[in-house]
Structure 1
Amino acid sequence: MSARRERAARWWSGVLVLVQLDLRQRLRTTRWKVSAAAAFAVVSLVVLGSLYVMVGAGSLAYADWAQNLYVIVGAIVVFVGLVLAPTLTATSINGDRKDAVLAVVQATPVSAWQIAVGKLLGGWASCLALVAVASPYLVWGIVSAPYGVGPGLLGVVVLCLVFLCWCGVGLGFSALTARPAGSAVLTQAAVFTVLLGLPAVFGLLLQPVSQDHRVVRAEYVYDPAAPADALPTCRDVEVTQSFAHTERIWWLLAPHPFLLIPDVVAAHDNPNAWSYRDTRPPTLASSAADALSDARTGPWITDSTCADESTGARYSTDPSRLASPYAEQRAHETASVGDSWYIGLAMNAVFGALGLAAAARRLRVPAGRLPRGVRIA
């Protein structure tokens, strides 16, 4: 056991040396300082600008704005990070190969996996600087949010892990392509495929997964011979309605970071959101998590009958008159809130692991057959 621990310690010591070399190489340039300053300026502009527009103009109370601050800052960090994180590693291998630096590292007694993991962690550490830059606003958002400190910190941890996964994706493209520009373009194409492509595919598949069902619903009939102020007669009729079975394709939305991060904290959000018990509007996190949960649980194949309509629960503001069918429908739609983020994180981890494995495979020495345009040194 001691020999195994010693080998593991030597292995990780080699990785840490490669991480230090990668970070020193990045710190020699001034671009990271400009990038950090620009990121802080963007976050400050959006946060303070929204505070002035929504609260300063009097269109929204500070409490309603502050409960969404965590999601606002998180969305900015996610978007900027997904643009920045893969790019930091998308040129790390083919860029070093182009500068004739990679062959020197491969000549040392380190394995291909050590080089790949070292470059992955080096790029990830650089990306975490974005989270550090936005940390004042993240702390402000965590304190102001209704979730609590624990779920807020968990959301930040999951955010950092998503960046790690996409650093692995960029590393894989860097190893598979000869030119840094090509790997950067492919990496950004993969990012926008997840951000825009998967939701688009989800929307296109709504019609193919739709299915007709026979349901009973309330129908109001007016008697032409009755007086003008007479109320209509309610009767239950059986009709055919089409429902989209999104529970078959919801997984297309699971890896989406803008749905994944809110789902982490939404389970600890205001429990009365979207109900008659609370007049405060729901947070952006609960709205996004509800949409993901609704897609995962599928359609509510039930409609209101005359007995349900007679309670007046649909239009009542009294929670005691809330009819059970509507409560059951709400419970059905929100049944998976907080239960999907780890599935999305696992899918992102698979993306990153595939990229890391591809990078380690291309870094093996001797290299054997190389693709056209790739050189050793």
Structure 2
Amino acid sequence: MNAFLSGTQVILSLELRQRVRGTAWYVLLGIFVVLVAIVTILLSIALTGFGVMGSGDAGGNIYSAIIYFVLLLGTLVAPALSGNAINGDRDAGTLATTQVTLVTTGQIVVGKFLAAWITALAFLAASVPFLIYAWLVGGLSVTSIVVSIVVLAIELGIVAAIGVGLSGIITRPLISIVATYLAVATLSVGTLIAFSLGGFAVQSTVVSTSSYGMTYSDSGEPLGCSPATTSTYETPRFDYLWGILVANPYVVLADAVPTSYDQAGNPQDLFGYIKYGVRTAQVTPDLTVEYDECTEGVGGYMDQGPTAQETIDSTVPGWFVGLAIQTLLGAGALVGAWARTRTPAGKLPTGSRIA
């Protein structure tokens, strides 16, 4: 075990030194800090304009927006930093030189994965001052802070694992980088598209029976109602397909973070609102709708329904399933990279160099 860790540390050290050797990396971090600062300032101004700044919701809104912004930029940058980790060295002729040393294939793959993960975590570290600002504004719980940071770090690690894995499986660096972006896009955007299109493709018929007032009293109450009329319409069945969303990294983050509510049962941050939207998809639509104005009174059909807190409490979380799916994808990619890179190789990709 010590020998494996020692070899992994060597690869990790070499990778990190190569990544931070030039000025481009620091310029990229500087641009990221500027963007986060702009988002934080604009969000603070907007919340002040809406009268939210100074309330219990302000800190949570700013904090959740920053965390999501870090996740967004992390998923945009991590594929470029990890998608050519192995095949880039193969093209440069340095991978073969490394393979003839005492370092094993597993140490190479794991070391490059850890280096890519640490590089992605640098964006999270750069956002710490702004997260502290959100905490000082107020409205944040320690549990929400810890859970969100841990889940965000894991998500960045999964993206790094997918990138490094595909760089070992695919021969050409450009193709592996594009494939990593496609994998991230499938999880982030593809799940939303599949959920939306699938929900509208699978529909059920709703039978609506209505009876409206024909004569009214001076106070506006109906004195006599029309005969009941029945109509039908189609409604999408998102409750059949909500499981697709659990693989989305943004949904996983929102669903994992404990939700804080105001007195009306509404979420106090972006995490809570996204969680509420996803959990609402689990609710089975009512396929039989009845409204009798004479019985329910004018406006009786305007049922407010359950609060966001009631909806979240009555549905089931799915973040751990999504995290497990993503972890399996990342681990599978790393195993594939190990199998493709191990030596002695029975079959080499075209153009591979032999030390």
| Aligned residue in 2 for 1:294 | 280
Q: Residue 156 of structure 2 aligns to a residue in which SS?
A: helix
> Which has the higher mean CA deviation after the structures are superposed, 135-144 or 349-358?
135-144
* Counterpart in the other structure of 2:342: 364
2:310 to 331, 335, 350: 331
Q: Is the 8 A contact 1:297 1:335 kept in 2?
A: no
- Aligned equivalents of 1:108 and 1:289: distance in 2? 50
**Distance of 1:155 and 1:263 partners within structure 2:** 10
Which residue does 1:5 correspond to in 2? Answer: none
SS of the residue corresponding to residue 29 of structure 1 reads coil
Question: Does residue 221 of structure 1 match 2:213?
Answer: yes
1:1-377 aligned at under 5 Å gives the runs: 8-55=1-48, 58-62=49-53, 63=55, 64-142=57-135, 144=137, 146-214=139-207, 219-223=211-215, 231-232=221-222, 233=224, 240-265=232-257, 267-270=258-261, 272-274=263-265, 282-301=268-287, 303=289, 305-306=291-292, 309-310=296-297, 326-327=305-306, 331-332=310-311, 335-336=314-315, 339-376=317-354
Alpha-carbon distance, 1:137 to partner: 1.5
Deviation at 1:282, TM superposition (A): 4.5
TM-score w.r.t. length of structure 1: 0.82
What is the letter of the counterpart of residue 296 of structure 1? Answer: Q
RMSD: 3.0
Paired residues of 2:206 and 2:286 also in contact (CA < 8 A):
no
Q: Distance in 1 between matches of 2:151 and 2:265?
A: 26
Q: In the superposition, relative to structure 1, how do residues 375 and 245 fare at CA in structure 2: closer, same or farther (>3 Å)?
A: farther
Q: Secondary structure at the match of 1:268?
A: coil
* Structure-2 separation of matches of 1:230 and 1:43: 55
Moved more, 80-89 or 254-263: 254-263
Aligned residue for 2:201, secondary structure, equals coil
Of stretches 95-104 and 290-299 in structure 1, the one that deviates more from structure 2 is: 290-299
Do the aligned partners of 1:14 and 1:110 also contact (CA within 8 Å) in 2?
Answer: yes
CA offset at residue 313 of structure 1? Answer: 7.6
Q: Distance in 1 between matches of 2:231 and 2:44?
A: 49
- The answer (yes or no) to whether the contact 1:263–1:285 under 8 Å persists in 2 is yes
The whole-number CA distance in structure 2 between the counterparts of 1:212 and 1:252 is: 23
Q: CA deviation at 1:250?
A: 1.3
1 CA distance for matches of 2:290 and 2:62? 37
Deviation (angstroms), 1:117:
0.9
Aligned equivalents of 2:212 and 2:281: distance in 1? Answer: 31
Shift of 1:356: 0.8
Instruction: Quote how far apart the aligned CAs of 1:46 are.
Output: 0.9
> How far 1:331 moved relative to its partner?
3.4
Per the TM alignment, residue 345 of structure 1 is displaced from its structure 2 partner at its CA by 1.3
- What is the alpha-carbon distance in structure 2 between the residues aligned to residue 16 and residue 165 of structure 1? 20
Q: Structure 2 vs 1, CA of residues 272 and 264 (structure 1 numbering), >3 Å: closer, same or farther? A: farther
The one-letter code of the counterpart of 1:351 is L
Shift of 1:99: 1.6
Q: What SS is found at the alignment partner of 1:243? A: strand
Q: 1:314 to 1:239 in 2, by over 3 A?
A: closer
- The 1:91/1:48 distance shift into structure 2, 3 A limit, reads same
Residues 207-264 of structure 1, C-alpha deviations (whole Å, 9 max, x = no match): 232122446x5532324xx689754456876654533332321122112222221222
Q: Partners in 1 of 2:106 and 2:346 — Cα distance?
A: 17
1:222 partner SS = strand
Query: What is the CA–CA distance in structure 2 between the aligned matches of 1:287 and 1:304, rounded to whole Å?
Result: 30
**Cα distance in 1, alignment partners of residues 309 and 288 from structure 2:** 12
Measure, in 1, the Cα distance between the counterparts of 2:76 and 2:3: 34
CA–CA separation in structure 1 for the residues paired with 2:211 and 2:265: 27
Deviation at 1:285? 1.8
The SS at the match of 1:326 is coil
* Cα distance in 2 between the residues matched to 1:360 and 1:149: 39
Q: Could you tell me which amino acid in structure 1 is paired with residue 254 of structure 2?
A: P
Query: Which ranges in structure 2 are unaligned for 5 or more consecutive residues?
Result: none
Question: What number of residue pairs does the alignment pair up?
Answer: 350
Assess if the C-alpha contact under 8 Å between 1:92 and 1:171 holds in 2.
Answer: yes
TM-score by length of 2: 0.87
Structure 1 unmatched runs, 5+: 1-7, 276-280, 316-322
- In the alignment, the residues of structure 1 paired with residue 73 and residue 98 of structure 2 have an alpha-carbon distance, to the nearest angstrom, of 31
Q: CA deviation at 1:351?
A: 1.7
AA matched with 1:200? I
Contact 1:82 1:163 in 2 (8 A): yes
Q: Percent identity?
A: 29
Could you tell me how far apart the structure 2 residues matched to 1:160 and 1:375 are? 35
Does the aligned pair in 2 maintain the 1:68–1:283 contact within 8 Å?
Answer: yes
**1:113-140, Cα deviation, whole Å (9 max, x unpaired):** 2211111001101111100000111233
1:304 to 1:39, Cα distance in 2 relative to 1, 3 A: farther
1:132–1:300 Cα change, 3 Å: farther
| Separation in 2, partners of 1:144, 1:218 | 50
